[in-house]
Chain A
Amino acid sequence: MDTSSTTGLPADPLVAGPSNEAAAEFSRVASAEQIRGVAGALEGNGITCIVLDSGEEAREAVRSILPVGAEVYNNTSRTLEVIGVAEDIERSGQYQPLRPRLYQMDREMQGREMRQLSASPEWVVGSVHALTEEGSLLIASASGSQLGPIASGAGHVILVVGAQKIVRDFDTGLRRIYDYCFPLEDRRARQAYGVSSGVNNVLVINKVIAPGRITAILVNEPLGF
């Protein structure tokens, strides 16, 4: 199926995308009632939730939350790229972006420093693959490197989530990852890096014991995949 119009990724006939059924099920934006319910569930789980109407508003919200001069790691994310948050973090000069710093480091000589830096940034900005109506967050990763900081390594976490990622429950969230996100991510990884992706690690956040550490910005439009 050609999902380029909804995901922003170019079509690639050599790499199978998600099935028509999966694309129809998982690219649909949740209803206003569902969004309100999820926002309440997230707050109940200790996750600060902000509901906004557009990606531009989400970009402004991230700008207003991140302190000037903050050390920030932006996870690779279509959502962050599309709404301009990745650009703000890496190029604005307002923050200490860790990604360019890590990329510039000598992997042979500074491997330990790289692991330490990427494992415990002061701020992480990213997204999720699924968000359940009970307020659980599901994040998949091939390498796992993004998961530790979100779970506990980072001081603060901001997650920008398009409302098409809301699912009924955990099992549906897993199906969203395997049937919809993975085929699209696999295509992106092959195009961008020449390697395939994999659902090698899945982080589930049901509850946060340090309230306020994670902020979810829930956007009432489809963002990323």
Chain B
Amino acid sequence: MSMIDYDARPVTPQVLLVGHRASSVGYSIRDFLSRNGVPYEWVDMDDAARVGALLPEGERWVDRLPVCVLPNGIRLAPATLEGVAAGLGMVSTPSLSEYDLTIVGAGPAGLAAAVYAASEGLHAVAIEAVAPGGQAGTTSMIENYLGFPQGISGSELATRATAQAKRFGAEILLARRLAGITRDGSDYVAHLSDGTAVQSRAMLVASGVDWRRLEVPDIDELLGSGVYYGAGPSEAVACNGCRVAIVGGGNSAGQAAVRFSRYAAHVTLLVRGSSLEASMSKYLISQVKELGNVEARTNTEVVGLESDTSLRALVISSGGVVARISADALFVCIGGVPRTQGADNVGLALDAAGYLRTGAELSSSTGALDGWPLPRQPLPLETNLPGLFAAGDVRSGSIKRCAAAIGEGSMVVSLVHQRLAELGGE
């Protein structure tokens, strides 16, 4: 028995990542580990003593960065997200040849569907490219989610939901994205990026949204080395004492500002609109305004970036006046683009913005139900393909809130039951 439980650090060896901080691959691995709750230690190449102790001399590691040292001592060089996930035993294979329900995406909607489906005896499997929780999983604190009067962090909500889904028997296949969907009779087959095929009698697309890209010259070259999409929970501590800029006026941007204010020397919130009130919850606006090191600039857009090996400054435009502000990191939290990659080859009906149409919306959309084979109309949340449902942010007309997505994810399971009964065998 030890007398000290020093900040609850694990007592067994951790994952070590060695590389340059300004590495997009390194960032993707940090982001993956952080969002999956896997402790790791980042060792920067500038730390010659640590690097020398970890990487044996005689090999030219600099060409093989980032290097990942797994807890069992195996070195992956250069490390990839897929390789790290596999090395940590996080890549499982489907246990069944056919499921009742395949869920694409393990955000709030997908996790809710997994919990309700599995708890009601359905064989359910969820496919997740990065980590359970989706965008909500990166939220530092959700303060208006029912039942948590002190708030709950997105990662904690996701961790609990994942444990709950697994306890009921749902499977979660991590670190692989959906590459395509095919039909096998009335079944659907999800083809994953690693070649795995998952067959099921019904399917739910709950893949959520991606952050909208910021249209600024050369921004892609700085991804992971100063520019990040989303709240970047893995980067918060690394921003200690830095100058951070956040683009966006919604709750995600506000929550990111609150989180980074705890670490950064200064946070600038850049909002294209004329006020925060139009897009951010009142409680967050109050919090942001009380933070002494957070400055909100409205009517402002980023028009340029300055960098050397990583981001150094932003060029911003406010009402036609161009200015330069120092920034070590830029987090982009603007809007959303429906994440339908992999699901777009099977003939799903989309709205003008690319979101999946479902239910009654299909009937009012010209041509959306051409080829619909059944005498009944699509069920609520059912797409133009029988037995293929959509829920959460990716669905056209959905309310883009965590609680709404969870509601849809739980509601869709009763519709899946109807579909399975229609097919027979339930």
> In the complex, what residues of A have CB within 8 A of residue B47's CB?
none
Tell me the bound Cα distance from A104 to B35 in angstroms.
9
Query: Does A101 count as interface, using CB distance less than 8 angstroms?
Result: yes
Closest chain A residue, CB of each to CB of B148: A113
Complex: chain B residue closest to A97, CB-CB: B10
* CB under 8 Å from chain B, chain A span 1-56: none
Select from chain B the residue with minimum beta-carbon distance to A88.
B12
Q: Is A120 an interface residue (CB 8 A)?
A: no
Within 8 A of A (CB), among B180-207: none
Within 8 A of B (CB), among A91-106: 91, 93, 96-106
Number of interface residues of B (CB under 8 A): 35
B262 engages A108 (CB within 8 Å): yes
What residues of B have a CB within 8 angstroms of the CB of A193 in the complex?
4, 6
Count how many pairs of residues, one from A and one from B, have CB atoms less than 8 Å apart in the complex: 123
Contacts of A90 in B (CB 8 A): 10-12
- Contact present for B150 and A76 (CB under 8 Å): no
CA distance A127 to B236 in the complex (A): 35
Question: Do A128 and B1 form a contact, CB below 8 Å, given A96-B163, A100-B38?
Answer: yes
Contact yes or no, A129 B167, CB < 8 A: no
CB of A188 closer than 8 Å to a CB of B: yes
B268 to nearest A CB, angstroms?
Answer: 19
Closest-by-CB residue of A relative to B141 is A109
**Measured CA separation A193–B2 after assembly (Å):** 12
Identify the interface centre among B4, B12, B166: most chain A CB within 10 Å of its CB: B4
CA A146 – CA B263 in complex, angstroms? 28
Tell whether, in the assembled complex, residue B1 and residue A79 are in contact, meaning their CB atoms are under 8 Å apart: yes
Instruction: Give 1 or 0 for each of B7-29: 1 = CB within 8 Å of chain A CB.
Output: 11111100000000000000000
> By the criterion CB–CB under 8 Å, are B5 and A76 in contact?
yes
B140 in contact with A189 (CB, 8 Å): no
Q: Which residues of A contact B6 (CB under 8 A)?
A: 76, 143, 189, 192-193, 195
The verdict on B337 contacting chain A, using a C-beta distance below 8 Å, is: no
Are B3 and A181 touching (Cβ within 8 A)? yes
- Report the minimal beta-carbon distance from A81 to chain B, rounded to whole angstroms: 6
Whether A172 is near chain B, meaning CB under 8 Å from some CB there, is no
Of B152-160, B245-253, B384-392, the one with at least 4 CB within 8 A of chain A: B152-160
Task: Kindly state whether residue A218 has any CB partner on chain B within 8 Å.
Answer: no
A143-B4 in contact given A96-B163, A108-B262 (Cβ < 8 Å): yes
Interface residues of B in 120-157 (CB under 8 A from A): 140-141, 150, 152-153, 155-156
Chain B neighbourhood of A114, CB < 8 A: 8
Contact with B along A142-168 (1 / 0, CB 8 A): 110110000000000000000000000
Kindly list chain B residues whose C-beta atoms are within 8 Å of the C-beta of A189.
2-4, 6
Q: Does A216 contact B (CB under 8 A)?
A: no
Any A CB within 8 A of the CB of B71: yes
Question: B39 contacts the other chain (Cβ, under 8 Å)?
Answer: yes
Q: How far is the CB of A95 from chain B (nearest CB, A)?
A: 11
A80 to B233, CA, bound (A): 32
| A103 to B41 alpha-carbon distance, docked (Å) | 11
A219 at the interface (CB under 8 A from B): no
Residue in B1, B8, B10, B71 with the greatest tally of chain A CB atoms within 10 Å: B1
The answer, yes or no, to whether B272 is at the interface (CB within 8 Å) is no
Does A224 have its Cβ within 8 Å of any Cβ on chain B?
A: yes
A103–B39 CB distance below 8 A: yes
CB of B34 closer than 8 Å to a CB of A? yes
- Residues from chain A with a CB closer than 8 A to the CB of B163 are 69, 71, 96
* Residues of A contacting B: mostly: mixed
Q: Find out whether the CB atom of B8 lies under 8 angstroms from the CB atom of A102.
A: yes
Cβ-closest chain A residue relative to B156: A113
Is A141 in contact with B12, judged by CB distance below 8 angstroms?
no
Instruction: Indicate if the CB atoms of A140 and B3 lie closer than 8 Å.
Output: yes
Mark A187-225 against chain B: 1 for CB-CB distance below 8 A, else 0: 011001101011100000000000000000000000010
Residues of chain B contacted by A129 (CB below 8 angstroms)? 1, 3
- Are B9 and A185 touching (Cβ within 8 A)? no
Task: Name the CB-closest residue of B to A194.
Answer: B6
Indicate the size class of the contact surface on chain A. 35 or more
CB-nearest residue of chain B to A189: B4
Q: Is there contact, CB below 8 Å, between A141 and B3?
A: yes
* A residues near B297, Cβ cutoff 8 Å: none
Q: Do the beta carbons of B38 and A104 come within 8 Å of each other?
A: yes
Residue B37 CB within 8 A of the other chain: yes
Judging by beta carbons under 8 Å apart, are B1 and A127 in contact? Answer: yes
Q: Is the CB of B10 within 8 A of A99?
A: yes
- Quote the shortest CB–CB distance from B235 to chain A (angstroms): 11
Question: B253-277, CB under 8 A of A: which get 1 and which 0?
Answer: 0000011001100000000000000
> Does A60 reach chain B (CB closer than 8 Å)?
no
Bound Cα distance A108, B236 (Å):
10
Of A86, A108, A139, which contacts B263 at CB under 8 A?
A108
- Assuming the contacts A96-B163, A103-B39, A110-B153, asked whether A87 and B12 have C-beta atoms less than 8 A apart, the reply is yes
Question: A86 is contacted by which of B11, B39, B166 (Cβ under 8 Å)?
Answer: B11
Q: Are A99 and B11 in contact (CB under 8 A)?
A: yes
Interchain CB contact under 8 A, A126 and B1: yes
Contact B2–A77 (Cβ < 8 Å) = yes
The answer on a CB contact under 8 Å between B9 and A103 is yes
Query: What B residues does A81 contact at CB under 8 A?
Result: 11
The complex places the Cα of A159 from the Cα of B259 at a distance, in Å, of 38
How far, in whole Å, are A100 and B159 apart by their CA atoms in the complex?
Answer: 12
Which residues from chain B contact A107 at a C-beta distance below 8 Å?
7
Closest chain-A Cβ to B251's Cβ sits at a distance in Å of: 15
- Residues in B with CB closer than 8 Å to A75 are 1-2, 5
Contact between B1 and A224 (Cβ–Cβ < 8 Å)?
A: yes
Q: Which residues of A contact B1 (CB under 8 A)?
A: 75-79, 126-129, 139-140, 146, 181, 224
Could you write out 11 A-B pairs with CB less than 8 Å apart? A69-B167, A77-B2, A91-B71, A98-B8, A101-B159, A102-B8, A103-B8, A103-B10, A105-B156, A142-B3, A145-B5
Which residues on B are within 8 Å of A, measured CB to CB? 1-12, 34, 37-39, 71, 89, 140-141, 150, 152-153, 155-156, 159, 163, 166-167, 233, 236, 258-259, 262-263
Q: Which 6 A-B pairs have the closest CB atoms?
A: A76-B2, A127-B1, A108-B262, A102-B8, A90-B12, A185-B3
